[in-house]
Amino acid sequence: MTNTLDQQCIDTLRFLSVDAVQRANSGHPGMPLGAAPMAYALWTQFLKCNPGNPDWADRDRFVLSVGHGSALLYSLLHLSGYDLSLDDIKAFRQWGSKAPGHPERGHTPGVEVTTGPLGQGFANAVGMAIGEAQLAARYNRPGHAVIDHHTYVIVGDGDLMEGVAAEATSLAGHLRLGKLVCLYDDNRVTLSAGTDMAFTEDRAARFEACGWHTVAVADGNDVEAIAAALQSARSQASRPSLILVRTHIGYGSPNKHDSFEAHGSPLGVEEVRLTKQRLSWPTEPPFLIPEPALAHMRQARARGQNAEATWSQRMQAYALAFPDLAAELQCSLRGELPSGWDADIPTFPADAKGMATRAASAKVMNAMAQRLPALTGGSADLDPSTKTVLKGGGDFNPPVTQTDDTQGADSGGWSPAGRNLHFGVREHAMGAIVNGLAAHGGFIPFGATFLIFSDYMRPAIRLAALMKLHVVYVFTHDSLAVGEDGPTHQPVEQLASLRAIPGLTVIRPADANETAVAWTVAVESRQRPVLLALTRQEVPTLDRSRYASAEGLRGGAYVLNDANDQPPVLILIANGSEVALILAAAERLQSEGIAVRCVSMPSWDLFDVQPQSYRDGVLPPTVPARLAVELGMTQGWHRYVGDRGDVLGVERFGASAPADILLREYGFTVDNVAARARKLLTGMRSVG
């Protein structure tokens, strides 16, 4: 049953949303009309938040995974007292408004994550629930529950159809995330059709099979039934919950009720009028907010202030009882780096044989992890290959039972406090989950796989860049040198593709010491994700008494050496494993009397933000003879080599063969690099 004030609040949410969409002449009115009651029940009876301080650490997290229903979220935020004005809602989807077409983290106060690509928000919520569970297990003490909140997410049919949601559902059930509650807007209509066209599985049975608690609400307008279902979900200590709420898209619209036409287009002026009449709402003025409804919804501010004040008192008591733990937790929650966090990062001695940069990365990660408690993550079932286990950090898993197969477990044991996340073979979910961890706060999360499988994660990587999340991607097996696994596992176009993402820093270090600096940059880069592309094969550890310091990586590109300190006539540029190749080629060319400069260029992104004077110092405009060498597509390199330069790259797929054979067949040899360089110089002379 719904009382009169409840109904007034629900209809206020509905028609603020509908009016915003209609004024913009763009948007999705159907979802707010159907889902407003469930959102209202959650926000007024259960959601722990403080509109006056949207970033309060122990707030409940709320994710609107059905981001096309953003107008409903903005109505909730405005009525609850967040810093989102009615004028912003009236300017929905317009330039300068805090109410963009889909929710954007950092743009609108109270929006936890950027949603729109379906399924991503749901998987983000799984990451947030993991974050709450791990922090609670690591820091709470008897009588001191300083981390104690829920994660709520509203999903739709489209979310549950996407593969990323299936992966995240499976993992969340396995991990027994009892504080994760999912409200399913079960309206059975998608953008173009009824779900009977393509989605007839038993959704409840699917989630139950994955270890979820499920409960169905037959009437999406029954606030009491929805509240009872939420209460039931909150009582589940060891199972995430799916509440299937039977709703109707476009509820109340005489001509678009239960129709896909209410999904992605405004109702139309006349249909808005008819819908308001049908639901006994005044047809004028638009954007009506009755005072009783506003007063009732604004109680969220007082509730939130009281809840945060109570939590602050708990934190003060906790800090007195456990000062070191409290200081560590607060540092992580603020996103700060503890003093001396980098004190143990190793420096690697020169070694002609060297080591794979993935192996160097493992040493660096484990050295940092001892002093950097926020570092948490894992791989998509590839720890032995990506070398990303935090030794002694424990495995984030339910406690071991007699029947569990613990192969691959870390020595720290299974528990919710474990810092090693086992994503299984689920790259899609891994990408979105680490985003959720970063958005939750308290973590520097990492996800690891082979570089080729970054394709599975690209939507999440793009969203991490869009949200400016502090996420680290550890992608190994970075080139044709993967060898016998063949073209399915040899990344060719991935580096070029990833470099095209605005706001993502891609770093491909040349040796162990560049890898150490790359990790330092990744940890320090709070406002953007960083991707490390690492080798499977061993690469020489450069003699830094002969070559420039690896700290030059911070500039994106730096001069490794010049021939006999003479002005260069030729510049060789490379990154990753190819740096050793250009150094060997340079020695040959120098023996012929050619003054060669060798430049290590591990990151275009870091180089491009340097002052022009620095960039000209590394790549002097007066030296047009430039050869770039990289085991990937040549796309993009010409901006650095210029019209008169050359690029040795890979313009076709790889093949199955030993790595040394592949490198020879694709021209990555000292002979070929030297020959291409000589040809450049010959061309310069003929032009001159």
Locate 33 and state its tokens: 């009309």
**What are the φ and ψ backbone dihedral angles of 316, each rounded to 5 degrees?**
-65, -45
CA distance 29 to 75: 12
User: Torsion-angle region of residue 416: left (phi > 0), alpha (psi -120 to 50) or beta?
Assistant: alpha
| DSSP state string for 82-140 | -S--HHHHHTTTSTT-S--SS--TTTSTT--S---STTHHHHHHHHHHHHHHHHHHHH-
**232's tokens:** 């039931």
**β pairing state of 351-355 and 539-541:** antiparallel
Both tokens of residue 121?
């928000």
Estimate the crossing angle of helix 427-440 against helix 454-467, to 10 degrees.
20
Write the DSSP string, 474-517.
EEE--SGGGGGG-TTT--SSHHHHHHTSTT-EEE--SSHHHHHH
What pLDDT, on a 0 to 100 scale, did the predictor assign at position 686? 57
pLDDT of residue 394: 96
Q: Which of 104, 427, 514, 578 is catalytic?
A: 427
Helix axes 120-139, 163-175, angle to 10 degrees: 20
Question: Does residue 427 carry a catalytic annotation?
Answer: yes
pLDDT value, residue 410: 87
d(CA 447, CA 170): 18
Instruction: Quote the pLDDT of residue 230.
Output: 98
Alpha-carbon radius of gyration of the chain: 28
pLDDT for residue 1: 53
Measure the CA–CA gap between 657 and 293, rounded to whole angstroms: 70
pLDDT at 531: 98
Q: Are 421 and 172 in contact (CB under 8 A)?
A: no
Distance CA 34, CA 248 (A): 5
Pairing status of strand 596-600 against strand 558-562: antiparallel
pLDDT, mean of each 10-residue run, the chain (688 residues):
88 98 97 98 98 98 98 98 98 97 98 98 98 98 98 98 98 98 96 92 98 98 98 97 98 95 94 98 98 98 98 98 98 97 98 98 98 98 97 94 86 94 98 98 98 98 98 98 96 98 98 98 97 98 97 98 88 98 97 96 98 98 97 97 97 96 97 97 69
Q: Which residues contact 200 (CB under 8 A, 6 or more apart)?
A: none
